[in-house]
């Protein structure tokens, strides 16, 4: 009788291989699902943290608004309103502890304590019958002369008076509404020769970073100038003598003198302001720094003021070990405070604009 062999061992081996394949496939699917789930979970957590941080930063904006309104109400009780570094908005608030274990902090800077680049958009208006000598005597507006002094006061890089004039004329050509270059300016014909070619803006600047596109502006000069200038408000507004840092105050001088005040004179103004303060604009111009020059400062006097309507809020929050930052340009008009622009940026550890009375612990990298 023939011997019948059983097929069970071979069938059992095949079943084991199939089972292992099914197990491997299931394991691969589980791993893929876990990776996708973790990615989805992390994305959702990031969105939640970002929204939470944004809510806190908007809360910082509301706190800044309350501080500015409180200052407005306090100013109404004064005989003459003013904004200075002793007021509530200029004081450094302590970091706010958050329920989640994080923190939030921020500060306000006076944008009218910086030189407003948009004041350079006007040129001297020539009158009919002016002689060549008369035209030569009044070549620059008060704002242009002030900017020329500021450029020379920077130190590094060191600019001569002629170099400062070249930069100033180029900025004015960038802002004015015509395409006719000044004697030492730069209009479309200059920028068309660059690679890539572009045109002048012929409008007020929206960002200080536009300076980088202007003729004769080097990276070193831009970095040195950026902390001391602003483009807000986009209409000319007076420089606040009670909040301007020493570097900017050095640009205030007699109308017929394109040389800046010395570093010692700028510091003397700040020290006098800290010790006794300036009662008003006349008291500021009566400072010993300007001895013998008060009569020649009528034009620059029109660029100076004592109140501020534009502020820069720098706020930072940490939630779930993640940091976010908000920079807001705030305009105060009466008892109304509104945000004109918002953005984010990184901490600038240089704090190159920080001087006496500058209580900000974080500095904006957005060029406002």
Least trusted range by pLDDT, from 99-103, 185-189, 225-229: 99-103
* Sole residue written with tokens 């420089």: 239
Average pLDDT over residues 85-107: 90
Tens of pLDDT, residues 227-253: 999 999 888 889 999 999 999 999 999
pLDDT tier for residue 364 given thresholds of 50, 70 and 90: very low
| CATH domain 115-305 topology | Ribonucleotide Reductase Protein R1; domain 1 (1.10.40)
Arithmetic mean of pLDDT over the chain: 86
Please determine, for residue 3, whether its predicted confidence score (pLDDT) is greater than 80: no
pLDDT tier for residue 346 given thresholds of 50, 70 and 90: very low
How far apart (Å, rounded) are the C-alpha atoms in residues 37 and 181? 62
Q: In the prediction, which pLDDT does 5 show?
A: 54
- Burial of 202 per CB tally in 10 Å (0-12, 13-18, 19+): middle
Tens of pLDDT, residues 5-63: 555 555 667 787 877 888 888 888 888 787 777 787 678 777 888 888 899 999 999 99
Please determine, for residue 191, whether its predicted confidence score (pLDDT) is greater than 70: yes
Please determine, for residue 137, whether its predicted confidence score (pLDDT) is greater than 60: no
Q: In the prediction, which pLDDT does 19 show?
A: 79
Average pLDDT over residues 350-358: 39
Tens of pLDDT, residues 250-299: 999 999 899 999 999 999 999 999 999 999 999 999 999 999 998 899 88
Q: Is the peptide bond before 192 cis (omega within 30 degrees of 0)?
A: no
Instruction: Tell me which of 152 and 352 has the higher pLDDT.
Output: 152
Q: In the prediction, which pLDDT does 134 show?
A: 47
Q: In the prediction, which pLDDT does 363 show?
A: 44
Instruction: Tell me which of 13 and 76 has the higher pLDDT.
Output: 76
Q: In the prediction, which pLDDT does 101 show?
A: 82
């Amino acid at each position: 009788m023939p011997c019948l062999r059983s097929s069970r061992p071979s069938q059992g081996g095949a079943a084991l291989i199939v089972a292992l394949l099914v197990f491997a496939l299931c394991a691969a699917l589980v791993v893929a699902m876990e990776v996708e789930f973790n990615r989805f979970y992390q994305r959702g957590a990031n969105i939640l943290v970002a929204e939470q941080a944004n809510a806190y930063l908007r809360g910082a904006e509301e706190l800044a608004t309350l501080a500015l309104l409180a200052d407005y109400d306090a100013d109404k009780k004064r005989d003459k309103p003013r904004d200075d570094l002793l007021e509530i908005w200029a004081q450094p608030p302590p970091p706010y502890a958050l329920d989640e274990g994080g923190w939030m902090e921020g500060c306000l800077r006076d944008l009218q304590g910086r030189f407003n680049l948009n004041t350079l958009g006007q040129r001297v208006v020539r009158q009919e019958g002016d002689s060549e000598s008369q035209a030569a005597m009044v070549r620059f507006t008060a704002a242009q002369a002030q900017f020329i002094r500021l450029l020379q006061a920077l130190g590094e890089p060191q600019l001569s008076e002629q170099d400062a004039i070249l930069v100033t004329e180029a900025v004015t050509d960038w802002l004015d509404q015509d395409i006719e270059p000044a004697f030492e300016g730069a209009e479309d014909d200059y920028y068309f020769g660059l690679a890539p070619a572009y045109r002048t803006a012929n409008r007020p600047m929206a960002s200080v970073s536009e300076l980088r596109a202007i003729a004769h502006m080097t990276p070193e000069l831009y970095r040195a100038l950026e902390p001391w200038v602003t483009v807000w408000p986009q209409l000319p507004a007076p420089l606040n003598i009670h909040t301007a840092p020493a570097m900017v105050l050095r640009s205030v001088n007699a109308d017929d003198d394109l040389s800046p005040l010395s570093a010692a004179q700028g510091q003397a103004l700040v020290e006098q302001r800290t010790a006794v303060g300036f009662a008003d604009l006349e008291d500021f111009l009566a400072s010993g720094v300007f001895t013998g020059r008060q009569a020649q400062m009528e034009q620059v006097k029109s660029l100076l003021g004592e109140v501020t309507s534009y502020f820069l809020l720098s706020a930072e929050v940490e939630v779930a070990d993640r940091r976010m930052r908000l920079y807001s340009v705030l305009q105060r008009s009466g008892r109304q405070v509104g945000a004109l622009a918002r953005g984010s940026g990184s901490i600038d550890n240089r704090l190159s604009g920080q001087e006496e009375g500058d209580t900000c612990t974080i500095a904006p990298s957005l060029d406002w």
